Structure 1
Amino acid sequence: MSHHHRNPVHSLAGPVEHCSLDLRRKLIRESPFFSNLEPGQIDEINSRFRDVGFSANKTILREGDNADSLFIVATGLVKLYSASGDGGILLIDILKPGEHFGSVAGFGPECYEETAVAAMDCCLLKISSENFHRVLTMHPQVAVRTVEILSHRVRFSHELMRRLGSYSAENRSAWLLLRLGEKLGRPWEGKNLINAPVSREELAAMIGITTETASRIVSRFQKKGLIESGRGWIAIKDPEGLKKLTEDVFD
């Protein structure tokens, strides 16, 4: 493991309990739920959302609680966890600004299917089920998009777990690092730095392997020159080398 670098991960955190009007409009306009609406309609929908702030490591919602709100990440990162069948906890995803989580009554399960935790100080836009249904009454096309978006997310996560389960720990680890690099990466010293605080335990939890196995694989990848890593960070040096390990996972 490389120790000559301090942790290069940059915080994406912003003001914890305030999002500017311009940022709110941008997030709502670019959200897949509302992307086809006019500026005046976006402003009306914006009035239905409220800012909520969470400091690092605070729980935002819990798996099993009544599903009554939809959230959009404005600043910071949010980690989604779910209980596994053997009583453990799986890290399902890391959400960046612009991504959504949660659910509202009438669309999908009545209870949240995951626990959401602030990975760092973050500001979120939150809309209640009641206000979301008011939006649907005024803009029926949003209802169609909502069904499409939420059902696709469930199908994708089930298909992902089914397919990953049949591949080796090394295949899965390579695929996960590439996915995180694509989603959260930023250029750093000629490499692609995964710009999120991710521990070995969490890497393991995302693909259903032990922490010890994840640590061995990270060390092996580093020796092969595929990645560089330190405490709490990983940078991809050779994406093509990692891709060769994943060619038959998602072809």
Structure 2
Amino acid sequence: MESRCENCIIRQFNSLRAMSKEELKQVSDSKITKKVKKGEPLFNEGDKLNGVYCVRNGVSKLSKLSENGKDQIVKLASKGEVIGQRSVIAEEHTNLSAVAVSDMELCFIPKNSITDTLHKNPNFTLEVLRHMAHDLKEADDVIVNMSQKTVKQRIAEAFLYLKNNFGEDKDGYLALTLSREDISNVVGTATESAIRIISEFKKKGLIKSSGKRIAIADEQGLLDLVEGF
């Protein structure tokens, strides 16, 4: 049975929590539940969105294509997050692409349901602004990391981020498996450099791997590396 927005616990994690019960009912009546397989796009850079995506399960990478043809992953959007609201509110084409890095379940909420509520509900407008401000802060942090931290520090930080935000599986490996190319696109380096540094981390006992899966073997060692010790 499809979940109703007014009864969905996911909304507590995003701006939808500021909607009234009647507004949530209207959203629920208009939303479409979608399932997206790993590797499939939600939308591409330059698309015109007719609504936003609320993530019920799974993870999507949001990335921008650089002039040299390399993707830069700027965010990993997971359960509870709303994707596409900046483009919808600004009435602009998307400046990022969104691709599933795991199987996903999403609710697509039409544009009118969002914009109508923005006009009528100041609490919802404030919540949307807060979430957009948080995204801007994260973007600022990415810029600072790129300019002030080495590639080794950024890769170490990426592994710690994956553990802290997505956890580990029953075998102790990172629950979210990213390809070596995706890891390089997160930290902003060549795939070959990322592979070389990951191999170095393994030799030093900081991590271990099994195929594409990676486990953190020495968390304190990674923390010390991030801090420059």
Q: Kindly indicate whether the alpha-carbon contact (under 8 Å) linking 2:52 and 2:109 is maintained by their aligned counterparts in 1.
A: yes
- Measure, in 1, the Cα distance between the counterparts of 2:138 and 2:91: 16
Aligned to 1:221: 201
- Measure, in 2, the Cα distance between the counterparts of 1:178 and 1:104: 28
Aligned to 2:178: 198
Q: Kindly indicate whether the alpha-carbon contact (under 8 Å) linking 1:107 and 1:150 is maintained by their aligned counterparts in 2.
A: no
* 2:221 aligned residue (223, 236, 241): 241
* 2:101 aligned residue (119, 123, 134): 119
Q: Kindly indicate whether the alpha-carbon contact (under 8 Å) linking 2:146 and 2:188 is maintained by their aligned counterparts in 1.
A: no
Aligned to 1:61: 43
Q: Kindly indicate whether the alpha-carbon contact (under 8 Å) linking 2:179 and 2:212 is maintained by their aligned counterparts in 1.
A: yes
- Measure, in 1, the Cα distance between the counterparts of 2:87 and 2:166: 30
Q: Kindly indicate whether the alpha-carbon contact (under 8 Å) linking 1:25 and 1:46 is maintained by their aligned counterparts in 2.
A: no
1:128 aligns with 2:147: no
Q: Kindly indicate whether the alpha-carbon contact (under 8 Å) linking 1:25 and 1:43 is maintained by their aligned counterparts in 2.
A: no
Letter of the aligned partner of 2:195 in structure 1?
S
Aligned to 1:11: none
- Measure, in 2, the Cα distance between the counterparts of 1:26 and 1:40: 16
Structure having the higher helix fraction is 2
Q: How far off is 1:174 after superposition?
A: 0.7
Q: How far off is 1:38 after superposition?
A: 5.5
Q: How far off is 1:47 after superposition?
A: 2.8
Pair 1:244–1:184, CA change in 2 (3 A): same
Letter of the aligned partner of 1:241 in structure 2?
G
**C-alpha RMSD of the superposition:** 2.6
Q: Please, which runs of 5 or more residues in structure 1 have no aligned partner? A: 1-17
TM-score by length of 1: 0.80
Aligned to 1:71: 53
Q: Kindly indicate whether the alpha-carbon contact (under 8 Å) linking 2:14 and 2:80 is maintained by their aligned counterparts in 1.
A: no
Q: Deviations over 1:160-205 (max 9, x none)?
A: 123333221111111111111111112544x4x3212311111011
* 1:163 aligned residue (116, 128, 145): 145
Pair 1:128–1:40, CA change in 2 (3 A): closer
Identity across matched positions, percent: 23
1:180 aligns with 2:150: no
Pair 1:226–1:82, CA change in 2 (3 A): same
Query: Residues 87-106 of structure 1 correspond to what in structure 2 (within 5 A)?
Result: 87-103=69-85
Pair 1:235–1:22, CA change in 2 (3 A): farther
Aligned to 2:211: 231
Q: Secondary structure at the match of 1:113?
A: coil
1:20 aligns with 2:3: yes
Kindly tell me the number of residue pairs found equivalent between the two proteins.
229
Q: Kindly indicate whether the alpha-carbon contact (under 8 Å) linking 1:104 and 1:129 is maintained by their aligned counterparts in 2.
A: no
* 2:16 aligned residue (28, 31, 34): 34
Q: Secondary structure at the match of 1:87?
A: coil
- Measure, in 2, the Cα distance between the counterparts of 1:182 and 1:198: 15
Q: Kindly indicate whether the alpha-carbon contact (under 8 Å) linking 2:60 and 2:76 is maintained by their aligned counterparts in 1.
A: yes
- Measure, in 2, the Cα distance between the counterparts of 1:56 and 1:131: 28
Aligned to 2:190: 210
TM-score by length of 2: 0.87
Aligned to 1:3: none
